[in-house]
Amino acid sequence: MRGGSLTASALWLLVMAAAIATRPFLPVDETRYLAVAWEMWHGGNYLVPHLNGETYSHKPPLLFWLINAGWAVFGLNDWWPRLVAPLFGLTSLWLTAGLARRLWPDAPAAANAAPLIAFGSIFWALFTTLTMFDMMLTFCALVGMHGIVRARQTNSPNGLWLLSLAIGIGALTKGPAILLTTLPVALLAPFWAPVLAGDIWDRGWKRWYAEISWALLLGIVIGLIWAIPAAINGGDDYRDAIFWGQSAGRMVNSFAHGRPWWWFAATLPVLLMPWTIWPALWRSLGGLFAKADGGMRFCLAWLLPALLVFSVISGKQFHYLLPVFPAIALIIARLLTTASVSPHADAWHRTGLLLPALMFFLPGLALFGLGIADLLVDLPAWAGRLNTLWGLALAIAAAGAFHFGRGLDLQARLVTLASLAAALVVTIHLAARPLLSETFDLQPISMKIGDWQRQDIPLAFIGKYHGQFQYLGRLEKPISIVGLQRPDMQNWIAAHPDGYVIAVRKRWPEGLEPLVQVPFRGRNIAVFDIPQVLAHPDFFDIRQ
C-alpha cells in the first residue's frame, strides 16, 4: 500500500500549482539563486558559480547545475527553476515512507502515516514551494539513512554506498551540513541497531566503523572532485571561503542569522503544527518509553544530535531543521499508529480534531474579517490588496473537517489534517496574490534595467546588491555597486556622467522624479539619472 505517499503527492501537486500560478520569484533568496544559475548559463562557467560578476562562495553548485540542466533540455524558462528544489521535497515524502517500511516492516500503517505527517507540518508544506537548498539536503539525508539501515539489514557494507552518495551529493548541495544529520546516526549504531527489526549484521563493531569511515571518505572525495578544481580556478579568496569560511564561520560566530542557543527548541513546536496541538499525539507520547524499539531509537539518534549541533551553531534559520523533519514525522507516525491499535485505542478516538481544526479555522475567519473591516474602518493599504474571500473558504473547510472528522479512523484524520495544511498554504498564495505581485515582483523593473544595459547605459546600485535583477532582466553584464565606501559613488558618477543609479528608499524628496520605480517590501526601488543625483547630494549622500 502506498496510499499515504500518493495522497501527500497529490497535495504537493496542488500546493505547487498554486505557488507557480500566483507567486513571483521572491527576493532576495530566490532571485539571487536564479541570478547565479543565469550567470552560469550565460557565461558558460559551470565550475565556479558567479553572482554579479564575482565568485559566489556561499553555496556549492548542485542547484545551479540542475537548473542549467533543465534549461538545456527544456530551453530557458521560469517554470523549471521553480520545480527543482520542490521535486526533491516530493521525493523525500516517498523516501520517508520507504524508510518507515525498513524500520518497522510489520507496521505498514506507519509507512502510510509518515509522508502525511511530514507534508502536513505547515512549515514543510509552505517551504516545499521555495527554490532553496534545504529540501535537497533533506533528500540527501534520507538517502543516507536508507543506506545505513540497508547495510544493517543485509549484513553487507554495500548499502553504505548510498551513504557515500548522500554525503557527496549533500556536500555539493550545502557543504558539510550533510554530516550533521547522517554521521551521528551511523556512529550511534550501538544505541539503535541491536534492537532494530531485521538487523543481521554479524561483522562486529570494528568492521562497522571501518566501513563507515570508508563511506565518509568516499563521500568527501565526491565533493572534492568539484571543490579542488573550483578552488584552483576561483582564486585564493574563493578557495578559503569554500574550504573554511562558510563552515567555520557559521560554527564559531555566524556572520548572519545569529540567535540564542534555545531558539530552535522554542520554535520547533510551532513549525510542526498542527501535530503539536493535536491531543491524539499527546496521548500517544507514552509510547516513547513503552519498550525498546530500534526504529524509534534510530530516529532519536537522527534528531537529537542534529538538534543539539544546530543549537550550538551561531547562525540559525527555520529551514536548517528540515533535514530532521522526516525523523520527527517517523516518530509521530510510529507513536500514533501504535496507539491506535493498543487496548486503549478508544482514548484517541475520543480525541477529536477540535484544536487543530481551530488552528485553521481562526486564521481563515480572521482573513475574511479583515476584508469586512477594511470596508468599515481605515486599515493599512496592504489589507485592501488581499483576496479575503479565500479566508472564508479555509474557515468552512476547517469547520467541515471538525464536523465530519469525528467518525474517521486514524489514517483518514491524518489525510484531513494534511489536506488542511495544504489548504492553508494555497489560501495564503491565493489571498496574497495581488500583494505579492505588487510588493515582490521585480520583473518589470528588471526588464527595463536589462533594456538600458543593452543600450550601453552604465548602471550602479547603491548599497548591497543581491543580484535581484540579473535573471529577471537577463542582464549580460554586472551592475556596479556603490555607496559602501567613500568615495566610490563620487568616483563612479564622475566616470559615468551618462549613467543611471538604482536606489532603494522609503520615499523621495519633493522634486525628485524617478525614471522608473516599483514598490518593494514597504519601500521603493527606483532609478535616477546622474543630473538628479547631483541635484540632491544630501539624499544620495554624495557630499565631498
Contact between residue 40 and residue 49 where contact means Cβ atoms under 8 Å apart? yes
Reported as a single tens digit per residue, the pLDDT across 66-76 is 999 999 999 99
Pairing outcome for strands 50-51 and 516-520: unpaired
pLDDT bin (cut points 50, 70, 90) of residue 343 is: very low
Peptide bond preceding 537 in cis form (omega within 30 of 0): no
pLDDT score, position 544: 42
Mark which of 405, 440, 475 sits at the end of a domain: 440
Q: Domain check: are 155 and 303 in the same one?
A: yes
Q: Domain check: are 69 and 190 in the same one?
A: yes
Mark which of 317, 343, 369 sits at the end of a domain: 343
Q: Domain check: are 176 and 231 in the same one?
A: yes
Within a domain: residue 501? Answer: yes
Name the residue type at position 140. C
Q: Domain check: are 374 and 431 in the same one?
A: yes
The whole-angstrom separation of Cα 309 and Cα 312 is: 5
Q: What angle do CA 220, 128, 222 make, to 5 degrees?
A: 10
| Three-state SS at 160 | helix
The whole-angstrom separation of Cα 444 and Cα 384 is: 23
Q: Domain check: are 325 and 368 in the same one?
A: no
Q: Domain check: are 151 and 258 in the same one?
A: yes
The whole-angstrom separation of Cα 167 and Cα 181 is: 10
Within a domain: residue 117? Answer: no
Instruction: Give me the domain span that covers residue 532.
Output: 443-540
Mean pLDDT of 99-108: 94
Residue-wise DSSP of 208-254: HHHHHHHHHHHHHHHHHHHHHHHHHHH-HHHHHIIIIIHHHHHHHS-
DSSP character for 478? Answer: P
Q: Which percentage of the chain shows pLDDT scores above 70? A: 94
The pLDDT of residue 77 is above 80 = yes
Within a domain: residue 402? Answer: yes
Within a domain: residue 333? Answer: yes
The whole-angstrom separation of Cα 387 and Cα 413 is: 29
pLDDT bin (cut points 50, 70, 90) of residue 2 is: confident
Within a domain: residue 423? Answer: yes
| Three-state SS at 131 | coil
Q: Domain check: are 137 and 231 in the same one?
A: yes
pLDDT score, position 542: 57
The pLDDT of residue 255 is above 50 = no
Q: Contacts from 519-527 at CB under 8 Å and sequence distance 24+?
A: 519/438, 519/439, 520/27, 520/439, 520/440, 520/442, 521/27, 521/439, 521/440, 522/439, 525/442, 525/445, 526/502, 527/445, 527/448, 527/449, 527/452, 527/500, 527/501, 527/502, 527/503
Q: How many helices (H) and strands (E) does the chain have?
A: 25, 7
Q: Which percentage of the chain shows pLDDT scores above 90? A: 66
pTM attached to this predicted model: 0.92
Mean pLDDT of 331-338: 92
Q: Domain check: are 323 and 226 in the same one?
A: yes
pLDDT bin (cut points 50, 70, 90) of residue 258 is: low
Pairing outcome for strands 480-482 and 516-520: unpaired
Q: Which three cell numbers stand for residue 8?
A: 501527500
Q: Domain check: are 461 and 413 in the same one?
A: no
Within a domain: residue 44? Answer: no
Which of 232-241, 291-300, 344-353, 361-370 shows the lowest per-residue confidence on average (mean pLDDT)? 344-353
Reported as a single tens digit per residue, the pLDDT across 213-252 is 999 999 999 999 999 999 999 988 899 888 876 555 544 4
Reported as a single tens digit per residue, the pLDDT across 363-385 is 999 998 888 887 777 777 777 78
Within a domain: residue 367? Answer: yes
Q: Indicate the number of domains in the chain.
A: 3
Q: Domain check: are 188 and 81 in the same one?
A: yes
Within a domain: residue 349? Answer: no
For the chain, give the longest Cα–Cα distance: 82
What does pLDDT average to over the chain?
A: 89
Which of 141-150, 173-182, 433-442, 465-474 shows the lowest per-residue confidence on average (mean pLDDT)? 433-442
Q: Domain check: are 307 and 358 in the same one?
A: no
pLDDT score, position 37: 97
Mark which of 390, 423, 440 sits at the end of a domain: 440
pLDDT score, position 70: 97
Q: Domain check: are 314 and 423 in the same one?
A: no
pLDDT score, position 246: 58
The whole-angstrom separation of Cα 327 and Cα 296 is: 9
